[in-house]
Amino acid sequence: MLYFIFTVDGDWGEYFDVELTDEKRLPKKDLLLDLLQHEIDLADRVLKGRFVHFIHTSPRVRDFFLEKDFRKLWKDIVKNNGDTGLHCHEDDPYKVYYHQDSSRMKKVIAERCAAFRKAGLSVECYRSGFLGFSTPMVRILEENKIYFDFSCEPGRLLKHEDQLICDWRGAPESQYRMSYEDHCKKGDSKVWEIPMGASGNKYLYFEKSSSKELDKIAFDLKARSVDNKGNIVVSVLSHTYDYGSSAGRKDIEDKLSLLKQHGRFINLIELKKLIS
């Protein structure tokens, strides 16, 4: 059987625009509250609330998304059958990236988990900005009681000049328990990797894949699950900034409806039951 977990990275477009001034790259509260409500409404309508919103934190904005109005939305997501996770953008896009700095990541993740949980928020899963990851992250997530990671895009090697951001070459293309020695291999850690759905160097990444490509990926994954007589669990990726127009929202809704023809969307509660 093929299972999907729909995920939304809580980023806004200006964050990535290095041509803007620092002030103009900051998030706009009212706009983001509106986009987030669209996320919740769409997931409720199409997936009965089943999705993961990864809450953005970065050197540019540490606690912005812990303000009262946002906290209400995060709690609404969980009440409505969804989940929230931690999305660490330890970077200044297209300039500097800290995802391979394990001492920094250890400190940031511990501090953010404590702050989120103190605010009454659920933090059971993680995805880094730019899908950055390193093997020491497996133990860092474990130490912070995060047992699901969604940072894997199988085959991805990303560098900026001489800076390594991530290397997912050789990683499995369906759910796996991560190794302490190599995050791209199966092992006996407590952290499960839920990779992005992939086939033929294409991914279940709404921003970068057409409906035709998504259909082919999902078809291949379902066929693989039948051939292997086992369950495949993969993630599907979109971003908060994708919800800024009615056309964008319709595109997301149509793509979700397309994927539902091939598999079932689940939340973290259902995922835990499935892998147990």
Domain boundary assignment for the chain: 2-275
> Which among 249, 275, 252, 240 is positioned nearest to 3, based on CA atoms?
275
Amino acid identity at 264 = R
Q: Is the pLDDT of residue 193 over 90?
A: yes
Q: Is the pLDDT of residue 57 over 90?
A: yes
The predicted pLDDT at position 276 comes to 87
Tens digits of per-residue pLDDT, 9-46? 999 999 999 999 999 999 999 999 999 999 999 999 99
Exposure string over 101-114, b if 16+ CB within 10 A, otherwise e = eeeebbebbeebbe
> Which among 90, 43, 40, 109 is positioned nearest to 70, based on CA atoms?
40
Give the domain 2-275 fold: TIM Barrel (3.20.20)
Mean pLDDT calculated for residue range 213-218: 98
Q: C-alpha angle with apex 80: 274 to 194, nearest 5 degrees?
A: 35
Give the whole-number percent of the chain exceeding pLDDT 70: 100
Q: Is the pLDDT of residue 225 over 90?
A: yes
Mean pLDDT calculated for residue range 41-59: 98
